[in-house]
């Protein structure tokens, strides 16, 4: 292709581009004139069937308030429809419960609880699936689809709560109140602080110290349907702990006590203090368990005894080493009741050392049912009521034992 032909081809492209641009400008001017005619209530002059013809009309625009009102009406209508579906599902659920009662042969007047429904479903539809959520179930519709809480809005659609857009308005309002109270306490000067700190009595301070924070499970239920995470709970604890530990924190004790409960006894090895039971001879006895590594000891302790021991059918000679005999007798020696109780033990697993420590834990737990609170606290401080969680460490690959490496040999 020659140079002259290329130049003519280039001029032709420029001419086509200019023609298309003029066509676009002409259409834009026509559309603009049509809009002006509509604003002046003058019928538009255009072709039939096209936008801007004499038969076409432009809809009137809604104001902002009208648009928000229409949106809210649609949302409320949607919620009403969901509520009708929910009521229908509840009716079907109640009908299904009656059919289920007939299938299981229950009386018509007997009311079935959700636990009864769960047991019937497990009986009628046995499943071996490991994931429990994949098994057949029959839950209440309100559990599967809880009701949606409608936020309060004004006429223009603005939420009435000033923390609505945080998604957790009630929770953040609580933190805001606590922060304001904490800053107010910090604002007092030294003289006022000294005067105000005298207002509390010693009994009130002790009562305040005997309380602890409510757990996370109870805390998040206070703010339903807001979703409170564990991180939010930690933020709550941090802020309220500062408010509680402030020198003037007693001024806001009523506000803080809302989220406190009576402190439970610390877990010192025993789940709860057992009450002794009388046997046929009228002697009180307690049965407890002790653990150490893989050793399990079942200990029975009877009062009004003479200090007899029965360990797997033998006396203390079950342990050949005197050290292990002293280990199992240590709780009785500490409480000075060696000759007042008879001990019967059945122990299995582990070695001699593990069995001795398992028996010691079982005997200590049994003694806690007979001893006073002072002696129980003494045993707890001595570590007799605390289970040893340690286990034998596994052997590591490439080593002779858990920690010991192979002997290095020069090649």
Domain edge (last residue) among 262, 293, 313: 262
pLDDT of residue 55: 47
In a domain, residue 269? The reply is no
Lowest mean pLDDT among 31-40, 218-227, 389-398: 31-40
Asked whether residue 38 falls in the same domain as residue 127, the answer is no
- Residues 6 or more apart from 38 whose CB is under 8 A from it? 44, 58
Domain edge (last residue) among 232, 262, 292: 262
Q: Can you give the C-alpha Rg of the chain in angstroms?
A: 40
b (16+ CB within 10 A) / e for 140-162: ebeeeeeeeeeeeeeeeeeeeee
In a domain, residue 401? The reply is no
Q: Which pTM was predicted?
A: 0.40
- The answer, yes or no, to whether residue 402 has pLDDT greater than 60, is yes
Asked whether residue 295 falls in the same domain as residue 350, the answer is yes
Alpha-carbon span 34 to 226, nearest angstrom: 53
- Residues 6 or more apart from 223 whose CB is under 8 A from it? 168, 170, 171
Would you give the end-to-end CA distance of the chain in angstroms? 80
Asked whether residue 289 falls in the same domain as residue 253, the answer is no
In a domain, residue 159? The reply is no
Asked whether residue 179 falls in the same domain as residue 227, the answer is yes
Alpha-carbon span 6 to 328, nearest angstrom: 109
In a domain, residue 211? The reply is yes
Q: What is the pLDDT of residues 323-369, one digit of tens each?
A: 999 999 999 999 999 999 999 999 999 899 999 999 999 999 999 98
Asked whether residue 55 falls in the same domain as residue 68, the answer is no
DSSP state of 153: B
Q: What is the pLDDT of residues 87-125, one digit of tens each?
A: 898 899 888 888 888 888 887 667 888 888 888 888 888
DSSP state of 131: S
Per the prediction, the chain carries an average pLDDT of 79
Alpha-carbon span 179 to 174, nearest angstrom: 9
In a domain, residue 160? The reply is no
CATH number at residue 289: 3.30.230.10
Asked whether residue 94 falls in the same domain as residue 32, the answer is no
Asked whether residue 68 falls in the same domain as residue 37, the answer is no
Number of domains, the chain: 4
Neighbouring C-beta atoms of residue 358, cutoff 10 Å: 29
Kindly indicate the confidence band of residue 395, based on its pLDDT and cuts at 50, 70 and 90. Answer: very high
Alpha-carbon span 175 to 298, nearest angstrom: 50
Asked whether residue 287 falls in the same domain as residue 354, the answer is yes
pLDDT of residue 21: 59
Domain edge (last residue) among 60, 87, 108: 60
Asked whether residue 54 falls in the same domain as residue 84, the answer is no
The residue range of the domain holding 345 is: 277-382
Q: What is the pLDDT of residues 35-46, one digit of tens each?
A: 555 554 444 444
Asked whether residue 119 falls in the same domain as residue 39, the answer is no
In a domain, residue 404? The reply is no
Alpha-carbon span 318 to 310, nearest angstrom: 9
pLDDT of residue 12: 52
Burial (Cβ within 10 Å: 0-12, 13-18, ≥19) of residue 263: exposed
In a domain, residue 195? The reply is yes
Q: What is the pLDDT of residues 142-196, one digit of tens each?
A: 888 776 666 666 666 677 888 888 889 999 999 999 999 999 988 875 545 444 4
Asked whether residue 238 falls in the same domain as residue 298, the answer is no
Asked whether residue 214 falls in the same domain as residue 200, the answer is yes
In a domain, residue 32? The reply is yes
Task: Enumerate the β-bridge partners of residue 159.
Answer: 153
Alpha-carbon span 58 to 50, nearest angstrom: 13
């Amino acid at each position: 292709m020659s140079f002259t032909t290329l130049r003519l081809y280039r001029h032709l492209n420029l001419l086509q581009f200019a023609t298309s641009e003029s066509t676009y400008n002409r259409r834009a001017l026509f559309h603009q004139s049509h809009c002006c005619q509509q604003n002046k209530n003058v019928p538009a002059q255009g072709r039939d069937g096209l936008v801007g013809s004499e038969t076409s009309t432009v809809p009137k625009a809604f104001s902002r308030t009208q648009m928000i009102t229409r949106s809210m009406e649609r949302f409320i209508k949607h919620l009403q429809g969901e509520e009708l579906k929910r009521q229908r599902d509840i009716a079907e659920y109640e009908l299904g419960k009656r059919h289920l009662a007939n299938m299981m042969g229950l009386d018509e007047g007997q009311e079935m609880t959700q636990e009864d429904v769960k047991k019937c479903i497990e009986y009628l539809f046995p499943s071996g699936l490991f994931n429990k959520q994949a098994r057949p179930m029959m839950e209440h519709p309100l559990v599967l689809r809880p009701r949606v809480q409608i936020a309060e809005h004004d006429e223009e659609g603005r939420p009435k709560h000033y923390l609505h857009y945080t998604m957790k308005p009630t929770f953040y309002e609580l933190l805001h109140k606590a922060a304001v109270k904490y800053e107010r306490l910090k604002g007092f000067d030294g003289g006022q602080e000294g005067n105000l700190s005298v207002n509390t009595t010693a009994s009130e301070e002790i009562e305040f110290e005997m309380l602890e924070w409510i757990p996370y499970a109870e805390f998040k239920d206070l703010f339903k349907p807001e979703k409170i995470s564990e991180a939010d709970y930690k933020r709550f604890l941090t802020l309220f702990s500062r408010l509680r530990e402030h020198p003037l924190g007693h001024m806001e004790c009523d506000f803080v006590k809302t989220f406190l409960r009576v402190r439970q006894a610390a877990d010192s090895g025993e789940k709860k203090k057992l009450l002794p039971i009388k046997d046929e001879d009228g002697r009180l006895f307690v049965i407890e368990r002790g653990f150490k590594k893989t050793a399990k000891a079942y200990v029975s302790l009877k009062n009004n005894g003479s200090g007899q021991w029965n360990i797997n059918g033998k006396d203390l000679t079950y342990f050949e080493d005197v050290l292990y005999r002293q280990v199992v007798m240590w709780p009785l020696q500490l409480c000075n009741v060696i000759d007042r109780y008879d001990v019967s033990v059945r122990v299995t697993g582990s070695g001699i050392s593990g069995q001795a420590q398992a028996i010691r834990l079982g005997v200590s737990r049994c003694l806690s049912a007979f001893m006073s609170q002072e002696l129980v606290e003494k045993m707890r401080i001595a570590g007799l009521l605390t289970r040893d969680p340690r286990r034998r460490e596994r052997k590591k690959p490439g080593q002779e034992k858990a920690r010991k490496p192979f002997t290095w040999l020069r090649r």
